[in-house]
Structure 1
């Protein structure tokens, strides 16, 4: 080989290596197709992997797809976020909520069983009475698959070489390429948010494409026809009341070659080198309570497919890439590591690495964009992607952590636009939940919801009395958090009635217990059991569970701040301020643990995956090693009791807990377990068949390791963060193991947030950089570190306002940053900071 040729080859290799290094942070890549087997395996210890664990996902928040990359057959799973089955819609306003009319007449009977300590599940127990008199009998239904698109190539897998399948999270582009003899075949896939379509392109070099394209559905197909270049599929989804109608349209464009439409509804492509496929679909769902129907889905299909077809592939692709890349560039994690060159499935099987951890975070942001944008409902247990008519846990909305965890990272990881579906869904819940509040609990003001939800406004307590749980306080927490990050008063005006309604419910629902404090009951501590030896492993009904009490304080405090900012409801504000000191305190138990219940029932051997009584540590803000040290120490004891290994979503939460406890190495240990032991080959969270909340919880934990902003400075003159920060709980002087809630002064509404830089940086990430993390108060933050030390940081103001910085034992003075301006470390900080002792 000539020297010139050697230099050219070396240049190509170096360029490839450079691209590969960058790709390893953002691109999922494989050297084989996914498994087309749709069988859902639900056994925890199974080693078999099917389509949902190996195909690669795409989505625009409403419309979703997965591609397997099969050689002889490509299977595109299509989902539409509103498509549910086996439920009811179109009932009267009360019935649509799922609540039992007049159930409140039996509430006192249920509460009496509580007061008499009738535990367990036997006749006359708290649970049996709750089930009999309060629980809903209405079917919840389940999220359903939409349709499938099958593309047959006639290619023999045994004859293929150089196979590659990938998904680039930076652009949202999927691809497949391989060779058969002299021929090279490529595919490109994307799901466009700007144009609301799924797009696939097949190309061939030195060969021809002969394809069969077929649309199918698991539901009753009312029409399947192929005419000219289109396949039209209409269907009907089975409901207990009022079947759902939907339509999918597929348009095929063969740049060359021949199209043949067949009587069976398929299209043949003959002797083409470039084939472009555009797909869209809608249901008749509208988020209008209580009918939940009315969309002209057929007209929308026609409008969308015609507009997309007019634009053509290149324009659709450019609009899609511009859209996704702009949002993905807002926040980027770049940890330093040496690229392995391994495919993603082998990277997971390799047992954990910084490379995988970096990829997992950036991919989680892509998943968030893909399954939550501007749809009328939020992402569910599987995000957007489901192939099963009977998915585990209904693929529904679990309001005792899962739907909330789906949205933990939208604020910190700079995807606030993805929160809109959560807000719109909550508006429906508040309307529905007002009927549940009145009919189930006899409360005329406000709203409430139970454990499970669907897209049809189900807000009632679930069918089992042990699940008599309130969730509006947790839902409302996220509504206010969205404001804390944006400082958008127009948004606060929009959600204030919902926030106030949640608080109004608890004002009436809280009841005095034997010690005179106000507690929530009936309730449970999701989804744990107490005194199992005495009352059985289903003994879950309780009163005054710590998580409820923590969330009520959080809700009342947020509502007070919102009403202060908006200058309204002064009398209601005073009502909340008067009730806060009466709430049941948080308690430290006999083992030094934070009690899960008001009685000291905790067991050190309890390894339950839910640790709901640490909700004030995360995603709440009221327990911190800097402000409530005794409670933080008790939380640490609880974390040690619960252990490290758990489900994917629980591991994501534990990552956040340890980060908030400022133990970066422990947070990293759990995050590595999540990414290496609780991830499928396509990086979906391992919770058979999968749950997407683990992906989002883990990414939220990464943000917490690198930046925290939940503490506020209430003393501008304090020189340490412990002295400066707001305190939510104080020791009860009469009982040193009890911590009573603190009523915050209304001036807190103007208190600046404290931005903590690298509060839990793990030693496994000695060097790296992160761009575009969001902080409360309306700020974006870039951080660079090396050898475990902060090198530089830039804070950009999106709204204008005050903040304080805390890093490496340094607390800055209050810094005012006008909208659009930035502040940099270390140069400017030297002029404005005071060196203090390290609080760690």
Structure 2
């Protein structure tokens, strides 16, 4: 026994002695534990800054955890991204969509109210009739917390010195360390993607560990049982129909220490030097419409925990670090600053710094990888991390920007595998949305999706008539853009039915307005009001909102390209080409602004957080300072009207907007505001409350400052970008302030992308470099700049392809590379 204990002690001493010093530029670090306001009786929603805003997140895309670093009690919040409650599943195919069964005469009644300008919210208005006839009465439900793991150490916080809590964004390792007397204590945490478990290790040097481990859940009726070194928790998340069952297993390896299970379901460990805790958890959810169940969650739990325990801590940690580091190291931003040594909360409390801006970018990439990978559903409003049975906005999927924004930075920041959950979820929506299209709108081809989504295929219209909208066109923009970056033909084959179905819906749904152009209605311009004085602040329903019209053009263009690449549906392609000129044009209004609606209703004093009518600027590609001068100037007016300060996600979007407008200093000003004034101590986005889309929107904005690749060269002989680039809108010769959609021909499918280097480099970043940005067309780009000017860029080909470079106001000739080849710009002499 003495020999075994000596060997164990040697391992512990080596663990302390050989710790690799992390690069603090990528590490969140604190000198105090998180504020744990979740412990004890949860009598209501915690207010102010607490656990969610100060604990540090771990995740593998499906399974998530946050750790508090508490000295006496370590609190790990556990989430499973597929665990929802308060909804329905297992209905027949039509009912599962949540759709409202609408007679054609009732739908026509609603549409007539729009044509008759029935504004406001009173009886007979657009909104009231949309609520009465179109809006679903089925429960959407909400994302639910999983469990809480509590580890009591018995340590007195008052006796602790040299406390440090950290999270390394480059490898996904969380650590806590401190001293008490002569004893040194260390904890490590990670959530493994290769092995689908949460792992924690406690180590004591010149001391021993006496721990109590227990697990709880907020879901009523759960059963917790401890036996030997294992705790099993089984429970149900309450549904309106067919409760979701789940299971969690916690297993402890304490070496030769005393381990005793307790009648209350806890485990006590005494006189330990090293303790490893493995946690596995699953629910019965499967992404199979309309049942959404069938996973062998118990078997999966047993298998995962047995495999993890057999491998042991060191093997699990090694595979985790190798896995996360390989992805995170693909893209590295290096701004020119000297690390201050300040803790992250103090950085946030300051007035902004390059150090914080650099860290925020890498942390956002880490969050993306942690909450969207290998799961059948995408990241939600809070990514993966939720502590509340009744979270804000259901912690659901808002399709009027939020879920789309969650995925803007995935490809440019070189995290393409994080996109798969979005694709899988959209497949379910397309299957469900066929019923909503037919039963609510009388459209017999294609699919429809409303404002709010869940994991059970809900595609119906929101319960409030003023929130009636379509979103298939925006979801498909994300889908096709992923193809644009990666040029994966097999993926395009996979998503083409979704793109086509969305386009088919709009072919039938679009209707002529008073001027004869085709518009989308019912709709709104999220979430803005118009004609507020005569009709009230909830006057939101409208026809032909600019964002809808821009996205329909975007969708039709993408469908034309996809069908051309795949060599199918020529007749349908022709149908789309014939419809495009009939779409309502984009218009410049009386204040010089890009109109938000077909009528000139915009107000210069409107500072609404949504700027949906600039979707063609970003994340679209159809407004540019380089190609559409008049629309660019109108977009500038709109941005000046809306102002700079807003909610977290809106601030992230404005960073992207100003980058696309090639105003790097304005983009940086907003990014600086986002990182220093719209971030909690753990850098979660401050909406308020917490929403993760701001993190992802801000990181997308950084990518846009340094590289843009959305323009295409359709004229290989052109010497200027104005002559070379495809333009989606052209001035109406009859009305100079109207811009009509342009019909793309099949040649666009072969048009190379233009890589614009440093399009919006801020003066606050005079020197720096970034490696591993992705460009559309399948290229990766490394860029270095000095004194505010491009020093060198290296373009690496991920596939055979051609592109042009636009840098320092010059457009290159066509450059062709084979997969694996690289080229340097400017060319070496």
Give the structure 1 partner of residue 581 of structure 2: 581
- State the 1:146 CA deviation: 0.1
Contact 1:34 1:68 survives alignment (8 Å): yes
Contact kept in structure 1, 2:102 and 2:133, CA below 8 Å:
no
For 1:49-103, what per-residue CA distance to the aligned partner results, in whole angstroms no more than 9, with x for missing partners? 1100000000000000000000000000000000000001111100000001234
Deviations 1:559-596 (A, max 9, x none): 00000000100000000000000000000000000000
**Structure 1 residue 41, shift from structure 2 partner:** 13
Please state whether the residue corresponding to 1:334 is helix, strand or coil.
strand
SS of residue in 2 equivalent to 1:248 = strand
Q: 1:11 is matched with which residue?
A: none
Distance 1:41 1:746 in 2: 61
Name the structure 2 match of 1:30: 30
Q: In 1, distance between residues paired with 2:29 and 2:44?
A: 26
Kept after mapping to 2: 8 A contact 1:52/1:689? no
1:180 matched residue in structure 2:
180
Q: How many residues align?
A: 809
Q: Distance in 2 between matches of 1:576 and 1:350?
A: 53
CA drift at 1:717 = 1.1
State the SS of the aligned residue for 1:224: strand
1:136/1:523 Cα in 2 relative to 1: closer, same or farther (>3 Å)?
same
Contact 1:41 1:689 in 2 (8 A): no
Residues 303-382 of structure 1 aligned to structure 2 (within 5 Å): 303-382=303-382
Asked whether the equivalents of residues 26 and 363 of structure 1 are also in contact (C-alpha less than 8 Å), the reply is yes
Corresponding residue number in structure 2 for 1:107: 107
Question: Equivalent residue for 1:509?
Answer: 509
Instruction: Name the structure 2 match of 1:652.
Output: 652
Deviation at 1:417, TM superposition (A): 0.3
| Alignment deviations for residues 212-253 of structure 1 (CA, whole Å, 9 cap, x no partner) | 000000002442100111000000111101011000000000
Q: Deviations over 1:457-477 (max 9, x none)?
A: 000001000011000000001
2: distance between equivalents of 1:42 and 1:587?
48
Indicate the residue corresponding to 2:8 in structure 1. none
C-alpha separation in 1, matches of 2:376 and 2:440: 27
Provide, for residues 810-831 of structure 1, a one-character-per-residue CA deviation record: whole Å limited to 9, x for no partner: 2110001111111112235x6x
1:564 maps to: 564
Answering whether residue 805 of structure 2 is matched by residue 797 of structure 1, we say: no
Determine the structure 2 residue equivalent to 1:834: none
Q: For 2:351 and 2:293, locate their aligned partners in 1 and report how far apart those are by CA, in whole Å.
A: 48
Hey, what does 2:233 align to over in structure 1?
233
2: distance between equivalents of 1:380 and 1:321?
Answer: 25
Matched residues in 2 for 1:661 and 1:491: separation?
Answer: 31
Structure 1 stretches lacking a partner, 5+ long: 1-15, 831-840
Larger mean Cα displacement after TM superposition, 364-373 or 213-222: 213-222
What does residue 641 of structure 2 align with?
A: 641
Cα separation, 2, equivalents of 1:713 and 1:222: 60
Distance apart, 1:339 and its partner CA: 1.3
Deviation of 1:744 (Å): 1.1
Offset at residue 688 of structure 1 (A): 2.9
Distance 2:329 2:339 in 1: 21
Give secondary structure in 1 for the equivalent of 2:411. helix
Whole-angstrom distance in 1 between the partners of 2:264 and 2:700: 48
Deviations 1:595-620 (A, max 9, x none): 00000000000010000000000000
Q: Distance in 1 between matches of 2:33 and 2:402?
A: 31
CA offsets, 1:422-465, max 9 Å, x none? Answer: 00000000000000000000011000100000000000001000
Q: Are 2:95 and 1:95 equivalent residues in the alignment?
A: yes
Aligned to 1:4: none
**CA distance in 1: counterparts of 2:113 and 2:47, whole angstroms:** 46
Post-superposition CA distance 1:402-424 (Å, at most 9, x none)? 00000000010000000000000
For normalisation by structure 2, the TM-score amounts to 0.96
Question: What displacement does 1:255 show?
Answer: 1.8
Deviation at 1:256, TM superposition (A): 3.0
Counterpart in the other structure of 1:3? none
**Following TM superposition, by how much is the alpha carbon of 1:722 offset from its aligned partner in structure 2, in angstroms?**
1.2
Q: Give me the whole-angstrom Cα distance separating, in 1, the residues matched to 2:261 and 2:642.
A: 60
Question: What residue number does 1:702 align with?
Answer: 702
Could you tell me which residue of structure 2 aligns to residue 199 of structure 1? 199
Match of 1:573, SS? helix
**Contact 2:333 / 2:771 at 8 angstroms: preserved in 1?**
yes
Partner of 2:605: 605
Per the alignment, in what secondary structure is the counterpart of residue 409 of structure 1? Answer: coil
Matched, 1:592 2:599: no
- Tell me which residue corresponds to 2:5: none
CA deviation map 1:315-373 (0-9, x unaligned): 00000000000000111101111211100000000110010000000000000000000
Question: Partner of 1:486 in structure 2?
Answer: 486
Partner of 2:3: none
Structure 2 counterpart of 1:73: 73
Q: Is the 8 A contact 1:256 1:274 kept in 2?
A: no
d(CA) in 2 for partners of 1:734, 1:42 = 61
* SS of residue matched to 1:412: coil
Specify the alignment match of 2:269 in structure 1. 269
Query: Equivalents in 2 of 1:827, 1:759: separation in Å?
Result: 19
Contact preservation (8 Å) 1:800, 1:817: yes
| Other-structure match for 1:764 | 764
Listed one character per residue, the Cα deviations across residues 105-163 of structure 1 (whole Å, up to 9, x for unaligned) are 41110010001000000000000000000000001000000000000000000000000
Q: For the residues of structure 2 that align with 1:81 and 1:103, how far apart are their CA atoms? A: 37
* Counterpart Cα distance in 2 of 1:104 and 1:797: 53
Contact in 2 for aligned 1:94/1:101 (Cα 8 Å): no
The alpha-carbon deviation at position 298 of structure 1 amounts to 0.4
SS at match of 1:555: helix
Match runs of 1:99-248 below 5 Å: 99-248=99-248
Distance 1:225 1:218 in 2: 16
Which residue does the alignment assign to 1:835?
Answer: none
Q: Which residue of 1 aligns with 2:472?
A: 472
Counterpart in the other structure of 1:531: 531
Task: Give the secondary structure class of the aligned counterpart of 1:312.
Answer: helix
Q: What is the match of residue 837 of structure 1?
A: none
Cα deviation for residue 723 of structure 1 reads: 1.3
The answer to whether the 8 Å contact 1:248/1:282 transfers is: yes
| Corresponding residue for residue 422 of structure 1 | 422
SS of alignment partner, residue 275 of structure 2 = strand
* Aligned 8 A contact 1:649 1:697 in 2: yes
Say which is worse superposed, 499-508 or 804-813, in terms of deviation. Answer: 804-813
- 1:358-401 CA distances to partner (integer Å, 9 max, x unpaired)? 00000000000000001000000000000000000000000000
What SS is found at the alignment partner of 1:470? coil
Cα deviation for residue 750 of structure 1 reads 0.3
Once residues 99 and 735 of structure 2 are traced to their aligned partners in structure 1, the CA distance between those partners, rounded to angstroms, is 41
Q: CA deviation at 1:809?
A: 1.4
- Pair 106,385 (structure 1): closer, same or farther in 2 beyond 3 Å: same
Distance 1:451 1:415 in 2: 27
1:174 to 1:647, Cα distance in 2 relative to 1, 3 A = same
| Shift, 1:678, TM fit | 0.2
- Name which of structure 1's ranges 683-692 and 774-783 shifts more when overlaid on structure 2: 683-692
C-alpha contact 1:41 1:688 (8 A) present in aligned 2:
no
CA contact (8 A) 1:121 1:538 kept: yes
> How far does the alpha carbon of each residue in 1:747-783 deviate from its partner, in whole angstroms, 9 at most, with x for none?
0100000000000000000000100000000000000
For 2:567 and 2:318, locate their aligned partners in 1 and report how far apart those are by CA, in whole Å: 46
| RMSD (Å), alpha carbons | 1.4
2:351 and 2:104 map into 1 onto residues whose CA distance is 53
Question: SS in structure 1 opposite 2:120?
Answer: coil
Q: Structure 1 residues 251 and 105 mapped into 2: Cα distance closer, same or farther (>3 Å)? A: farther
Is the partner of 1:220 in helix, strand or coil? Answer: coil
Is 1:552 the counterpart of 2:552? The answer is yes
Distance (Å, rounded) in 1 between the aligned partners of 2:521 and 2:241: 33
CA shift digits 1:19-52 (9 cap, x unpaired): 98x7332100000000110299999xx9931100
1:299 matched residue in structure 2: 299
- Per the alignment, do residues 463 and 103 of structure 1 end up closer, same or farther by CA in structure 2, a change over 3 Å counting? farther
Task: State whether residues 709 and 754 of structure 2, in contact with CA within 8 Å, keep that contact through their aligned partners in structure 1.
Answer: yes
